[in-house]
Structure 1
Amino acid sequence: MSYLTRICGNASNWQYPTKSAAEAPDTFYSQHGYGHEEWLFRFEWQIGGWQYGFLQGVNKGWESRLARGERAGDVVLYTLTPQGRRYVARIRHIEFLDDAQGVAALDHYKRLGWYDRMLQEIDAVNGDKSGLGNGEWAPYVLNVRFRPEDVEWYPPNTFAEAGDPVQQYNRYQLIELNHEASLPETVGTRRPARTGQILPPTQDSYFTSGGSGRECSPEHGMMQAALHEELKIEFPESNIVFEENFIDVTVTTEKEKILFEVKSDFCTRRVLRLAIGQLLEYAYYWDEPSEKAVRLVAVGRTRLSPEDERYLKYLTEKLNLPLEYRRVRLPSEV
Structure 2
Amino acid sequence: MTFSEIVKELNRRIKESDSILLNLQSERSEKKGLKRVSSKFFNDREDILNQGYTFHYGGGDEFQFNIGKEPEYEGEPVFRFGLAFNFQASQSVPDPIGVQQNQIQRFNQLLLDYTSDLSEERFWVWNGSGRTKSTAVGKIFKYHQALGNFLFIGKSIAKELKDITKEDLELIIDEFEYLYPVYQYVQLEMDQAIKLDKVARICFNTEGWVKPSGPVGKSKNQDTHEANHGFGHEEWLFDFSKLINGYHFGFLEPIYKYPDTYVGKVFNVNLITIDSGSKKRYWVGEIQNLEVIGLQENKRIKKEYQKRGWYREMEDQLKAFELDPLLLGEWTGNEWLFNVKFKPEDCKIDNLIEVDPYDKAISSTRYTLINLNKLPSEIEDREGAHGLFGPPLKSDSKPSFAKTSVRTSGPRITEIPHLHYKITESLYQFLDKKGYTVEYERLSPAGGKVDMIGWKGTKATFFEIKTYPNAKACIREALGQILEYSLYPAENRAFKLVIVSHNKSIDLDQKYIKHLRESLNLNLEYWGFDHEKNEVFEIIK
Alpha-carbon shift at residue 92 of structure 1 (Å): 2.9
Question: Matched residues in 2 for 1:203 and 1:94: separation?
Answer: 37
Query: Which amino acid in structure 1 is aligned with residue 422 of structure 2?
Result: M
2:281 maps to: 88
Aligned residues: 276
Matches within 5 A, 1:1-334: 3-7=198-202, 15=216, 20-23=220-223, 29=225, 33-34=228-229, 36-37=231-232, 56-57=253-254, 74-77=270-273, 88-92=281-285, 107=313, 110=316, 115-119=319-323, 130-134=326-330, 136=334, 139=337, 150-155=351-356, 158=358, 166=363, 172=368, 178-181=372-375, 183=376, 190=382, 192-193=384-385, 198-200=398-400, 208-209=409-410, 217-235=417-435, 238-245=436-443, 246-285=449-488, 288-290=491-493, 294-331=495-532
Provide the C-alpha distance between the structure 2 equivalents of 1:34 and 1:230, rounded to a whole number of angstroms.
43
- Once residues 220 and 29 of structure 1 are traced to their aligned partners in structure 2, the CA distance between those partners, rounded to angstroms, is 31
User: 1:17·1:39 contact (CA, 8 Å) conserved in 2?
Assistant: no
In 2, are the aligned partners of 1:249 and 1:259 still within 8 Å (CA)? Answer: yes
TM-score, normalised relative to structure 1: 0.58
Unaligned runs of 5+ in 2: 1-195, 205-213, 236-249, 291-300, 444-448
Q: Distance in 2 between matches of 1:8 and 1:302?
A: 24
- Asked which structure has the greater RCO (Cα within 8 Å, sep 6+), the reply is 1
> How many Å apart are 1:283 and its aligned residue?
0.8
In the alignment, the residues of structure 2 paired with residue 68 and residue 331 of structure 1 have an alpha-carbon distance, to the nearest angstrom, of 30
The letter for the 2-side match of 1:92 is G
DSSP-derived class of the 2:399 partner: coil
CA drift at 1:264: 1.9
Alpha-carbon displacement from aligned partner over 1:138-194 (angstroms, at most 9, x marks no partner): 548xx9999x983323445x486xxx8956x97655x6x54224x5658x9746317
Q: CA deviation at 1:33?
A: 3.0
Assess if the C-alpha contact under 8 Å between 1:266 and 1:302 holds in 2.
Answer: yes
Q: Deviations over 1:218-271 (max 9, x none)?
A: 222222233223212212xx3212222211111112141011111223432333
Cα pair 2:329 2:335 within 8 Å, conserved: yes
Q: Give me the whole-angstrom Cα distance separating, in 2, the residues matched to 1:241 and 1:234.
A: 14
How far apart are residue 211 of structure 1 and its match? Answer: 8.9
Q: Do the aligned residues in 1 keep the contact of 2:225 with 2:232 (CA within 8 Å)?
A: no
Q: Tell me the distance in 2 between the aligned counterparts of 1:60 and 1:330.
A: 36
Q: For 2:322 and 2:253, how far apart are their aligned partners in 1? A: 17
Q: Distance in 1 between matches of 2:283 and 2:309?
A: 26
Checking the alignment, whether the CA contact within 8 Å between 2:352 and 2:411 is kept in structure 1 is no
Q: CA deviation at 1:110?
A: 4.0
Please tell me the residue identity of whatever aligns with 1:272.
I
Q: Give structure 1 stretches of 5+ with no counterpart.
A: 41-52, 81-85, 123-128
Contact 2:217 2:275 in 1 (8 A): no
User: What's the CA shift for 1:326?
Assistant: 1.1
Q: Distance in 2 between matches of 1:225 and 1:260?
A: 13
1:21 partner amino acid: N
Q: Which has the larger radius of gyration?
A: 2
- CA 1:283–1:69 in structure 2 vs 1: closer, same or farther (change >3 Å)? farther
Q: Measure, in 2, the Cα distance between the counterparts of 1:261 and 1:243.
A: 10
Deviation at 1:2, TM superposition (A): 6.9
Amino acid at match of 2:510: E
Normalising by the residue count of structure 2, what TM-score does the alignment of the two structures yield? 0.39
1:285 Cα offset (Å): 0.8
1:49 is aligned to none
Percent identity, please: 19
Q: Match of 2:453, SS? A: strand
Alignment root-mean-square deviation, CA: 5.5
Aligned AA for 1:198? K
2:427–2:531 CA contact under 8 A, matched in 1: no
Secondary structure of the residue aligned to 1:283 is helix
In structure 1, how many angstroms separate the alpha carbons of the residues matched to 2:285 and 2:408? 17
